[in-house]
Structure 1
Amino acid sequence: MIFQELILQNFGSYCDRHTINLQPSSEGTRPIILIGGFNGGGKTTLMDAIRLALYGQRAQIDRRKKKQSYSEFLSQCVCSQAPADAIASIELTFQHVIRISNIDKLAEIRVQRTWNRKGKDKLQVFLDGWDDPTLTETWDERVETWLPLGLSNLFLFDGEQIKELAEQDTPPPSVTTAIRSVLGLELPDRLDHHLEILISKHQRDLAKDEDRQVLESIAQRLNQQKADLETEENRQETLEQELAATDQKLQEAQIQFEAEGGSLAESAPELDRQLQKLQTEAEHHRQNLRNLAGDLLPLTLIQPLLQSAQQQGQIELRRHQAQAAWDLIAERDQRLLDLIQTLKLNRTQTREIQAFLQQETQALAEATSTQSWLNADPESLDYLTQVINHQLPTQIHLTHTHLTHLTHLTTTIEALTLKLQAAPSPEDYDRLRSYRDQAQLRYDECLFKVQLSKRQCLNLRHDIETTKAELKRYSDQHIDQQDTDDFLRAATLAQQTLQAFRTHLTLQKLNDLESNITNCFRCLLHKSSLVHRIMVDQQTFSLTLYNTTGQPIPKQRLSAGEKQLLAIAFLWALANVSQRQLPIAIDTPLSRLDSSHRRNLIDQYFPSASHQMILLSTDTEIGREEVEELRGKGVITREYLLQHDPVHQRTTVESKYFW
């Protein structure tokens, strides 16, 4: 299968008609169609369009709500900027080999779906340009043989799907269905089910009247149990949808409760206690500040005057000391001069000593000539020095500390006060709490019903198996098989053969799948020695990684990027094992990958995973460096850029990439 062209008209944000040529190079060496666009620019809409064209109502589209009908979804998909009577349409043209008159032929098939705002779509399928009513009527069956819906998730997927698959220990149901389809387990299961019905019917036909009545009774009970199981499973699905809806309502109620201050009202008593405690602490700091203000702290206002007074007092103290020592110093100087005369020094030395003594005497006279203003005693000057140098700095430091704490406390008190003021009134709080509690109650009720339904389904499955065993046991004991041994023996042998075939087929396919996953993962992983072998569980299809010594590797040891590469390798291997030549389309393929892992994906996966690789990327995933590398390898056939106008809510398609 090769996608050739996708045409969108008034679909989503694609107003008017847009044509995208998806045809890769004919020689097969340039398989990549690169489509760039920012988030919200219309990339996912293209993927939805491909799925919708192929599968219609059965298409698995994430943005379609669970309870939303198909017609409502189609009506929602009509471009909001288009006229009221606008027609929306999707056309997907692809090539596929079909068999006509026992001859295989490469045909061109064009699938067209059109609808208006009422949401009723019209399907037309064209074969080689001609309207084909037969192909249109049997389209669901035909596309299921070419690209089954269960397998489509292996070829049409997005980064979010890869992320979910990477984070789950067991593959989701969609991938599990694809695995069973790839392994070919659906056909043996259907054959075994049909054989069981045939054997049961044949046994009832051969039974005696009284035995036939018992068999009919057991068969009716079995059919009723199967019908009950189907009804309960449908009920469980409905309940799960209701559970999802009630969960959404609960989240909305909780958001409203938070937004309107319900949590504040709940925590108001505790906040009030905190407020009182903080106010008490703040008052304690204020009292300390008042005590400091009543002590020496006000002297900081005249601190320069105090320092000047200290200096003046020191000067006056020295004057008093000089006056007291004046006579003693004069007598000492005279004795010194007399001593010099006896030492018989030369005239020059004598004059220098006399000049020095006169200079000292003059300085002392000047010191004693200053006027006294303070007349402070030494004890007062010592106390003033102690205040200036020690007590006042200590009180200033304490004041700053108390002010800092008080400022912080005041800010916190104001915030708490605002919170308490913003809390709803008791009436509003009761309303909010009642709304939230009712939503919680409805959620709990739905959860209980879902769990009860699951338990009921489990019991019904057990009853069905018990009834099947009873039916077989009664048939073996009471039915005369003398004329029908060949048929029943052949049918039983066929069942045993199917079981053996299923087991052998599963092992063979799983071995092939394990080998493919291992090779693909080691190809994508830059640490090729990390994993030696990957095994797939036969029941759950979960993956187990082993190193070169045969020891299992916990999945938690893998980084987020390595887990994503493992998920991509899983999908790549499943596509390989399916042996179907189908296009691959990936939306946002490189999220959460580092540069080395991106390099391996670009080098190994994109050019070789399929004959047609459609990549929808943002400018940060396949950036300038990556696109230049792909261009250099010559693997890109076409490049497109989705230009979204947020003002007019329209997306246009241009024949270029970001760079």
Structure 2
Amino acid sequence: MILDELVLHNVGVFAGRHSFELTPPSPDKPIILIGALNGAGKTTFLDSIQLALFGPLARTASRGGGSYQSYLRRLIHNDAPLDEGAAIELAFHIVERGHERHYRLRRAWTGTATGARERVDVLVDDRPDGTLSRQWAERVDAFVPRGVAELFFFDGEKIETLAELDNAREVLRTAIGALLGLDLVDRLAADLTLVERNHKADQAAPAMQKVLDTVRNKVDMHREQKEQMKRSVDEARGKLERAEKRLFDVNERLRLEGGELFDRSSELEAAKLHLAESAKDLDSRLRDAAAGTLPLQLVREQLLELAESAESELYDRRQRDIRDILQKRDRAILGQLKKQAVSTEVIKNVQDYLAADRKSQTGKEKKKPIAELSNESVVILRRLIDADLDAEIGNAQRLIDQRATVVQELDDVLQMIASVPREKALDELRQDRDDAYRVVAEATQLLNQAETEVSAAAAAEHEAERRLSGLLEKAADELGAAEDSRRVIEHSQRVRTTLSRFRHEASRRNVDRIQKLILESLQRLARKDRLITDIRIDPETFEVELQGRNGTVLLPQQLSAGERQLLAVSMLWGLGQASGRPLPVVIDTPLGRLDGIHRNHLLERYFPQASHQVILLSTDQEIDEAAWKRLRKHVGHTYQLEHDAGRGSTRATTGYLW
């Protein structure tokens, strides 16, 4: 299934007609990205898709309490006349028996004095289909089963709920039951129980009938109380979610207004002093370096020439010493020859030979010395040129780099300090935050109280049903039931036993497959982060057990908030794959409370692969400019929702926020 177009006319904050083309232009661009600030209509967009499909059975975030007609009436834009009303059109196409078929579903309504009057029209391949229009509520499951819709159409709150594994148990029970059709099994078992009770009651004596009626009335009363408390729980949970959303928005506003910087002002001042001291220390160390041999780097070439000249002079000096020694030797030899009365000619030959030998040994006379350095000085000069200067330069460069880093950090801190708002400017926002915390606490207390009352009503109902069953059994035994009634009861009990076994076995077999799909989804998201190596789901209680390396059991509190949310997304992804339904994925505010690393995991590994069509409804803080650049290559269409607070309406334009 691919959603081709959504048209909103006077729905919620959308005044007038707004059309969104949703068909992905190619398989490698499956994402449709819709950006908006809070309150601009993202939730209305998601609710409209579900409302178009499911009508009064849609589980929308904005419905709250009250009747469906009242909800429709509230959805009509404030400036639209009630008789003009509102409408939602949803166009999609699917492949049926090898052929592509196009559907356009139009749900329109006008306001009345007490509610709204609705009309549903369905076109198939551009032709009106009256039968499908009348029977859409019964036929919609053939396109999008309502039981699995929550696995494909969800918001960030759904991820938050699943991230708490205690809440995940009930979600898994409902989702797996819907996937396997076990809700029909439960309904059949309940109907059989009612049949058994009626047959047993029919056999009771008049006196027993009165007792049975009394107990049966108690069962009905406790059941009604339980259902009423469940509605109270839903309302309380909705209030809590809205309160938490308001708190998140207020904290976000505080952050944007500089509240976080104000809270960190003392920390920033301390950082400024520390960085200024570090910069001062580095300046001192650089001056010390400059006071040593480091400046000689400026005359390194001249030092090299000086060293070469000094070495040459040392060589010449050694040669002079050799020449003096040879001259003394030669004079001694010639003196000895003369004493021995050697002929003048021989002496002359020996003298010439010795002169030639001295010249070959000492070379030419060198020029006048300039450096006049000792051998030790030349060694020190060479070490300075070949090693010490390089070490000094390396040390100075490290100091310069450290100073540049410290100066940059100091500039950043000074900039943040300059951005710290005045305390008075934040007073109103802080008051809003305190109010939001108070509302969250009240809503949490209200939810806990409602859940306690549901448990108490359920326990009272169970106790009344147990007593009613005992009385019915007693009535049947005392009066001797008729053969037909007894046979019906016995067969009904056998069927219920069989249904119970069937439910258990179906859950066990499919839970194995589902937990594997969830684990595979998690591993695709986390890749190298193999903290969780296995996931086990109890087919009876649907409790989730996480296993780490070496088979150790991981407790939820051992996971970070980001890791728990990745696990929640993996559950939705795995359950969606288990459904076998090629449905689009629509997500509202998907990244609101994720850190940078886990946000990148979803951007790179989930959104482009979640389905053949992925519609993301995001704020500028969730998919910011950096995230948009990473996601851009997978995006086929972009829209921006701009809300005009003065007119109280939203305008949709093409293009994203960046």
Bin the TM-score by the shorter chain: 0.5 to 0.7
- 2:108 maps to 113
Give the CA deviation at 1:92: 1.3
- 2:495 maps to 494
Aligned residues of 2:532 and 2:548 also touching (Cα < 8 A): yes
Cα shift readout 1:475-530 (whole Å, capped 9, x = no counterpart): 47864687888766654433322221111111112212211221111221255320
Aligned residues of 2:52 and 2:105 also touching (Cα < 8 A): no
Aligned runs of 1:8-23 on 2, under 5 Å? Answer: 8-23=8-23
2:557 maps to amino acid: Q
Aligned residues of 1:155 and 1:583 also touching (Cα < 8 A): yes
Which of residues 198, 203, 217 is equivalent to 1:224?
A: 217
Report the TM-score when normalising by structure 1: 0.61
Give the CA deviation at 1:636: 2.6
Provide closer, same or farther for how the CA distance between residues 228 and 33 of structure 1 changes in structure 2, counting only shifts above 3 A: same
Aligned runs of 1:496-515 on 2, under 5 Å? Answer: 496-515=497-516
**SS of structure 2 residue aligned to 1:541:** coil
Aligned residues of 1:170 and 1:541 also touching (Cα < 8 A): no
Aligned residues of 2:34 and 2:617 also touching (Cα < 8 A): yes
The answer on 1:190 being equivalent to 2:190 is: no
Aligned residues of 1:11 and 1:77 also touching (Cα < 8 A): yes
Structure 2: give runs of 5+ residues left out of the alignment: 242-440
Cα shift readout 1:255-296 (whole Å, capped 9, x = no counterpart): xxxxxxxxxxxxxxxxxxxxxxxxxxxxxxxxxxxxxxxxxx
Which of residues 68, 72, 75 is equivalent to 2:73?
A: 75
Equivalents in 2 of 1:566, 1:199: separation in Å? 44
Equivalents in 1 of 2:592, 2:586: separation in Å? 15
Give the CA deviation at 1:56: 2.6
Equivalents in 1 of 2:239, 2:583: separation in Å? 40
- 2:363 maps to none
Equivalents in 2 of 1:636, 1:579: separation in Å? 25
**SS of structure 2 residue aligned to 1:154:** coil
Give the CA deviation at 1:649: 3.1
- 1:582 maps to 583
Provide closer, same or farther for how the CA distance between residues 466 and 95 of structure 1 changes in structure 2, counting only shifts above 3 A: farther
Aligned residues of 1:90 and 1:114 also touching (Cα < 8 A): no
**SS of structure 1 residue aligned to 2:16:** strand
Equivalents in 1 of 2:57, 2:150: separation in Å? 13
Aligned residues of 1:583 and 1:611 also touching (Cα < 8 A): yes
**SS of structure 2 residue aligned to 1:549:** helix
Provide closer, same or farther for how the CA distance between residues 38 and 452 of structure 1 changes in structure 2, counting only shifts above 3 A: closer
- 2:163 maps to 166
Give the CA deviation at 1:455: 2.6
Equivalents in 1 of 2:446, 2:166: separation in Å? 29
Aligned residues of 2:91 and 2:102 also touching (Cα < 8 A): no
The answer on 1:40 being equivalent to 2:39 is: yes
The answer on 1:24 being equivalent to 2:24 is: yes
Aligned runs of 1:405-484 on 2, under 5 Å? Answer: 454-472=455-473, 475=476, 479=480
Aligned runs of 1:279-358 on 2, under 5 Å? Answer: none
- 1:292 maps to none
- 1:556 maps to 557
- 2:637 maps to 638
Cα shift readout 1:155-202 (whole Å, capped 9, x = no counterpart): 111112212331352238566423321243212212222333444556
Report the TM-score when normalising by structure 2: 0.61
- 1:91 maps to 89
Aligned residues of 2:155 and 2:588 also touching (Cα < 8 A): yes
Equivalents in 2 of 1:629, 1:448: separation in Å? 45
Shifted more, 90-99 versus 107-116: the winner is: 90-99
Aligned residues of 2:164 and 2:564 also touching (Cα < 8 A): yes
Equivalents in 1 of 2:71, 2:628: separation in Å? 36
Structure 1: give runs of 5+ residues left out of the alignment: 249-439
Aligned residues of 1:531 and 1:545 also touching (Cα < 8 A): yes
Aligned residues of 1:8 and 1:18 also touching (Cα < 8 A): yes
Identical columns (%):
33
CA RMSD of aligned residues (A): 4.0
2:120 maps to amino acid: Q
Equivalents in 1 of 2:618, 2:218: separation in Å? 50
Give the CA deviation at 1:575: 1.2
Provide closer, same or farther for how the CA distance between residues 246 and 572 of structure 1 changes in structure 2, counting only shifts above 3 A: closer
Structure index of larger Rg? 1
Equivalents in 1 of 2:138, 2:475: separation in Å? 40
The answer on 1:124 being equivalent to 2:117 is: no
Aligned runs of 1:499-538 on 2, under 5 Å? Answer: 499-538=500-539
Give the CA deviation at 1:605: 1.6
Equivalents in 1 of 2:230, 2:14: separation in Å? 34
Give the CA deviation at 1:245: 12
- 1:405 maps to none
Provide closer, same or farther for how the CA distance between residues 618 and 489 of structure 1 changes in structure 2, counting only shifts above 3 A: same
Provide closer, same or farther for how the CA distance between residues 650 and 236 of structure 1 changes in structure 2, counting only shifts above 3 A: closer
2:87 maps to amino acid: S
Aligned residues of 1:526 and 1:597 also touching (Cα < 8 A): no
1:543 maps to amino acid: V
When the two structures are aligned, how many residues end up with a matched partner? 458
Give the CA deviation at 1:243: 7.9
Equivalents in 1 of 2:616, 2:237: separation in Å? 33
Aligned runs of 1:139-178 on 2, under 5 Å? Answer: 139-167=136-164, 169-171=166-168, 176-178=173-175
Give the CA deviation at 1:447: 9.2
Give the CA deviation at 1:565: 0.8
Cα shift readout 1:99-153 (whole Å, capped 9, x = no counterpart): 9xxx998451413223247541422221313443433333322224543444222
Give the CA deviation at 1:469: 4.5
Aligned residues of 1:153 and 1:174 also touching (Cα < 8 A): no
Provide closer, same or farther for how the CA distance between residues 475 and 550 of structure 1 changes in structure 2, counting only shifts above 3 A: farther
Equivalents in 2 of 1:658, 1:513: separation in Å? 38
